[in-house]
Amino acid sequence: MNRRLLAALALAGAFAATAASAEITVGVSLGSTGPGSSLGIPYKNAFQLVPKTLGGEPVKYIILDDQSKPDEAAKNARKFVTEDKVDAMMGSNGVPSAVAMIQVAAENKTPMIALTPVPPLSPDRLHWTFVVPQPTELMMSAVVEHLKAHGAKSVGYIGFSDTWGDLVHNALQSLAPAGGFKIITNERYARADTSVTGQVLKIMAANPDVVVVGGSGTGGALPQIALRERGYKGAIYHNHGTVNLAFIKVGGKAVEGAIAPTGALIVAEELPASFPTKKVSLDFVKRYESSFGAGSRNAFAGYSYDGVALLNAAVPVALKKAKPGTPEFREALRAALENVKNIIGTHGVYNMSASNHNGLDDRGRVLVDVSNGQWRLMK
């Protein structure tokens, strides 16, 4: 190959690189297939509704399927940092998958927007990670306040036999001393189980004042149906993973009265006018339902949307310091994310700091219950 051609090629390559760096690239890994797909699909849907720009600059979202598997999520994350040179990553809908991505993000010094609540992280990982959803403790504290106000002293727990089941249980456990109650059963089941009779019998024998279910989606319905069939009379609480319409469809009459914490967008219409997120939540819910059908609203799409809102607030600050596609820009973006203040999302108001990479407070959750086949805001 002659030298001039080589020089021309190198020059062309350099131009291509500068042309690409004007655009912001965000890598998104979601489990739109596999066991987590019922959550992954709405997470993904939200990306059809987000703006085409971030802080005024054009943005490219690279959305890959991780099949709800942590190893695939890690593979996607590595592809994002090595091949696509992304400025930030977002994902995933499963806790283990998100944790796998966080590891890659920290190793490669890339800002990571976690779209699922994650277990406590070591400082070096937390440094690069920002968590959109409400921490499980924040959500469960709404449940604890409610059951404390109603004088419950003993709580029966039944949850998924996976990380989610553990997260909800641990959150409940950490709130127990302040809430003045004891957790007297810790039963586990799997989403694909055909029966929870054994677990429910054990709970009935322990006879707790209330039961908390640590399932998600339609999977949360099975214990409640079984408990009601066996004649359990106490209140049954769920968590924010359960709040969707499919849960009510599957559970029918048996889930009437089920109580759960959730983000404000689920009951956007019923929020008082003074609620800080009312406008944003309502607007998002309307747009989502006009694209994906009436009643299709869910918390998960809101997390994707709020994640984008955080980036949108941080990108202009970072752009002042560096160009997209460079390590300097990624560091600047990280620092900017750490300092976003009063960002109103669909779920709540975000105020980040060096020690708090979630930034939501009590305004990020409401309690809802099932009444007449609908999730309604509890007064």
Partner 1 sequence: MSFDIVLWLVQDGIVNGAIYALLALALLLVFAVTRAIFVPQGEFISYAALSLALLQAGKLPGTVYVLVGGGAIAALLDIAVALRDKAPGRLPRILAVYVLLPLAMAGIAWWAAPRKLDMWIQVLIVFGLVVPLGPILYRVAYRPLAGASVLVLFIISMAAHYVLTGLGLVFFGGEGLRSQAFSGAHFKIGVLNISAQSVLVVLATVLIMASLWLFFEHSIYGKALRATAINRVGARLVGIPAELSGSLALTLAAFIGAVSGVLIAPITTIYYDTGFLIGLKGFVGAILGGMGSYPLAAIGAVGVGLLESFSSFWASAFKESIVFTIIIPVLVWRSLTTRHVEDEEE
Residue ranges in contact with partner 1 by CB under 8 A = 33, 35-41, 158, 161, 186-199, 201-202, 205, 217-219, 221-222, 244, 246, 249-250, 252
Nearer to partner 1 (CB atom), residue 152 or residue 196:
196
CB 142 within 8 A of CB 212: no
CB of 265 to partner 1, least distance (A): 19
Nearer to partner 1 (CB atom), residue 161 or residue 356:
161
CB of 222 to partner 1, least distance (A): 6
H-run or E-run covering 329: helix 327-338
CA distance 72 to 204: 41
CB 86 within 8 A of CB 347: no
CB of 276 to partner 1, least distance (A): 31
CB 79 within 8 A of CB 86: no
Nearer to partner 1 (CB atom), residue 39 or residue 264:
39
Burial class (CB in 10 A: 0-12, 13-18, 19+), 276: middle
Residue whose C-alpha is closest to residue 156's, from 175, 171, 167, 169: 169
CB of 227 to partner 1, least distance (A): 13
Nearer to partner 1 (CB atom), residue 144 or residue 254:
254
Nearer to partner 1 (CB atom), residue 87 or residue 187:
187
Nearer to partner 1 (CB atom), residue 39 or residue 138:
39
Nearer to partner 1 (CB atom), residue 43 or residue 350:
43
CB of 261 to partner 1, least distance (A): 20
CB of 26 to partner 1, least distance (A): 24
Which is it for strands 88-91 and 24-30: parallel, antiparallel or unpaired? parallel
Ordered DSSP codes for 240-301: TTS-SHHHHHHHGGGGTT-EEEE-GGGGGGGS-TT-TTHHHHHHHHHHHHHHH-TT---HHH
CB of 101 to partner 1, least distance (A): 20
Residue whose C-alpha is closest to residue 94's, from 59, 65, 137: 65
For 209, residues 6+ apart whose C-beta sits below 8 A from its C-beta are 147, 151, 152, 153, 154, 155, 181, 234, 235
